[in-house]
Every structure is written in structure tokens, then in C-alpha cells.
Amino acid sequence: MAPGESNLKTLLSSLKPILHTDLFVFLTIPNTTIAETIPNLHTLQPHLLFQETEGTTVVVTRDRADSHGFTDYIFPCRMITISVHSSLEAVGLTAAISAKLKDIGVSANVVSGFYHDHIFVPDGREEVAVRALRDLAQEN
């Protein structure tokens, strides 16, 4: 069994969303080696790299994207971290979060890290999203 909490009721009652102040963006780079495309990857400091057939998705702060010459990014967003250490095998957490945000009309791009889940929501919708997640925790 993977480390972290897997009981859905416990996870939901322990959400404690943390809103990050940085503005994030999504961009894609060709599927060459990352070192060829971004020779100074360490200074870009991506929060996420995910390789897909069509290209590698990069999630990075807008400031870092701009300073590295990336201008064709999309989805300016804010990151909310769910502070509970959730198991990667937990069932229903991201579904419950997505459903709650769907009910208030907020897009949710959820990423699971080893320790926490992170939700990218459109810039300007972060406060309403955090309130909804706090409400979800209180409901459980």
C-alpha cells in the first residue's frame, strides 16, 4: 500500500487548501530531449513536466515562462495545494474536489504529487475555489 491517507472521509475533512500566490501557466514543448529545448531547465524551475505523444507539458510560473522566452503559454491559473498527505491509491478524492468545483462553475486541473494533490484553477477564480474546498471539508 502506498504511504499517505486513503480514507475518503478523513481526506475530505482534512483538505486544508493552501493558495499559492504565483500565477502559473501551461505550455508545451516538442518531444525532443528536454535538455535540447530548455538547456537551462534548472532556472526555469517547472512545477510539472509531463510527456505526452504530442509534446511535453510544462507548468511553470508566468514570470519564469516570460523570462525564458516562452510566450505561447495558455491558461493563466492559480495553484491550490491540498495539505493532507493523500495516498496515490486513494479513491474518490479528486472526483469529490472536481465535483465541488464543477458545482460552482470553476475549471479544475488536478495533479497528484507524491505527497499532495494540487489544483490549478483559472486566475480570478481562486478565492471562490478555496472557499468551496473549505466548505467541502466542513461538510465531511
Q: What is the pLDDT of residue 109?
A: 96
pLDDT band for 32, please (50, 70, 90 cuts).
low
What distance lies between CA 38 and its chain's CA centroid?
22
Mean pLDDT of 1-14: 88
Q: Is a pLDDT exceeding 90 seen at residue 37?
A: no
Helices marked H in 20-107 = 34-37, 41-44, 62-67, 93-103
As given in the structure block, the three cell numbers for residue 30 are 516538442
Whole-model pTM: value is 0.91
Q: Are 82 and 117 in contact (CB under 8 A)?
A: yes
Contacts of 7 (CB under 8 A, 6+ apart): 90
